[in-house]
Amino acid sequence: MKKLSVCALLLLSLTMTACAKQEKLKAGEPVEKEFSEVSVHDPSVVEGEDGSYYIFGSHLAVAKSDDLMNWTYVNQGVKDDNEIIPDVYSVMKDAFEWSHSNTFWAPDVVKLNDGNYHLYYCNCQGDTPVSCLGTAVSDSVAGPYENEGLMLKSGMDASEEDEDGNLYQAATDPNTVDPNVFYDAEGRLWMIYGSYSGGIFIKEMDPETGLELESGYGEKLLGGNHLRIEAPYVIYNEDTGYYYLFLSFGGLDSDGGYNIRVCRSENPNGPYVDSMGQEMTDCKGPSGSTFSDVTAEQYGTKLMGGYRFEWKEGEEGEERNGYLSPGHNSCLYDEESGKYFIIYHTRFENSGEEHQVRVHQMFFNEDGWPVIAPYRYAEETAEPCEEDSLTGTYKLINHGRDISAEAKVSEEIVLKKNGEISGAAEGTWKLTGDYGAEITIDGDTYKGVFLKQWDEDGKKYVMTFTALCSETGVSIWGSGLNAI
């Protein structure tokens, strides 16, 4: 008998896998969703000319996907031999020299009215906010990008030297990193940026060239006195009429308590307020303070932090590592499907500083605030529900408002047929509209959606809910215990 070639063996394996999937479908068994992982820190998403979605991250990590589930690398690492920015160390010499660095931090890529892709890059020393921000341009999303030079540097607006002779006041001036560039509803172009230090700033840009209209840092939106807030990202929702500013609070390390928060405004340049009605301009550290998390956690509507859906006897996936320090997100609206997505990186329990990209579907609740689906996106679509299909035992995650290094661990509740909730929390629940969720626990009412999702650890489809209490700025998630 002749030996099969490698190609023949691969084809046979793929055929057998496809047949197994068909058999599962016929038997009504769940077909496991497949994912391909990448490590792209601070992923910023943009649609390419080929219709694929690209994410650009720190250290010139770039990946692409056609389905937001399976990612492949386009580039990894800052090196001269790359197609994004060829000969990067000579081309970007000014940025590396100013920042005393040999790498890039969180970039943003946007396709502007001129039809070109504009890469907003930034560099920083890291242990001190010696930073710079510049632009490069290409007619293809994957490059090569041609450097246009620097536009912002830390200390460029300072009028006097500090005690060390630096023209930079870190408690009030911005760290010129973490750019996000977006068009508003009127076609004006804005760049929001900043990390820790003096806060988050915004400035208007030329809508055709993507370059700054006026020199200077622009207008401060929030932060200051080294409050741990960074990674600003803005999206506009035409249906609600609001601009939503997403931010990451806390530290990005596995024990840093990174978490994603949001505020909104009717204007691209603010003022932004959280769901509790607090103006974010008041969100700043006490004078002379550093990293005052007790101050920061009072502001911003918290959408998610570290979490783990606890394993229960009879389920698959007994060994589970919860998510830690999820953050530095970007957002995407897919016009064809009408779906919103949030893309972020996360670390994991018992995994050191390893990180991966995650994509979750996102919805806007009855009060016009975003809520994030509990599980990563697996091609699900919100569909009309019947109340009887929603009853049963759920694993409840309450994300709270704290900045914590510990993952929130689920507790069990039961949604009863009579509309009551029992178990680890008590209250009431009801279905509103086709798939809207209204859940009241301890007098606080959370509004969101019910959604059938793929439980990756449990290897089953379950009913979930995601909801937010506007009055407290707290988000909750629920994951059904039983397969559906």
E-strand spans in 267-338? Answer: 301-304, 307-308, 323-334
> Is residue 366 among the annotated active site residues?
no
Q: Is the pLDDT confidence value at 128 over 90?
A: no
Per-residue pLDDT, averaged over 241-245, amounts to 99
Tell me which residue of 450, 315, 445 sits closest to 388, measured CA to CA: 450
> Is residue 42 among the annotated active site residues?
yes
In angstroms, the CA 468 to CA 303 distance is: 8
Longest dimension (CA), the chain: 84
Strand partners, 121: 134
- For Cα atoms 212, 54, 46, give the angle at the middle one, nearest 5 degrees: 40
pLDDT of residue 22: 47
Q: Is the pLDDT confidence value at 28 over 60?
A: no
Give per-residue pLDDT as tens, 307-332.
999 999 999 999 999 999 999 999 99
User: To the nearest 5 percent, what fractions of the chain are helix, strand and coil?
Assistant: 10, 40, 50
Q: Is the pLDDT confidence value at 6 over 50?
A: no
Give per-residue pLDDT as tens, 158-217.
544 555 555 678 899 999 999 999 999 999 999 999 999 999 999 999 999 999 999 999
Output phi, psi for 124, to 5 deg: -155, 145
Give per-residue pLDDT as tens, 135-150.
999 999 999 999 999 9
Q: Which CATH architecture has domain 388-480?
A: Beta Barrel (2.40)
Mean pLDDT of the chain: 93
In angstroms, the CA 98 to CA 115 distance is: 30
pLDDT band at 289 (very low <50, low <70, confident <90, very high): very high
Domain ranges of the chain: 44-372, 388-480
Give per-residue pLDDT as tens, 325-367.
999 999 999 999 999 999 999 999 999 999 999 999 999 999 9
In angstroms, the CA 474 to CA 468 distance is: 6
**Gyration radius of the chain's alpha carbons:** 23
Contacts of 396 (CB under 8 A, 6+ apart): 410, 411, 412, 413, 423, 424, 425, 476, 477, 478
Which H or E element spans position 393?
A: strand 392-398
Given the residues 108, 173, 178, 230, select the one marked as catalytic: 230
pLDDT of residue 164: 56
DSSP per-residue string spanning 103-169? S----EEEE-TTS-EEEEEEEE-SSS--EEEEEEEESSTT-PPEEEEEEEETTTT--S--TTS-S--
Percentage of residues of the chain with pLDDT beyond 70 = 92
Asked if 44-372 and 388-480 have one fold, the answer is no
Q: Is the pLDDT confidence value at 469 over 90?
A: yes
* CATH of the domain spanning 44-372, picked from 3.40.50.280, 3.20.20.70, 3.90.420.10, 2.115.10.20: 2.115.10.20
In angstroms, the CA 469 to CA 442 distance is: 12
E-strand spans in 57-115? Answer: 62-65, 72-75, 108-111
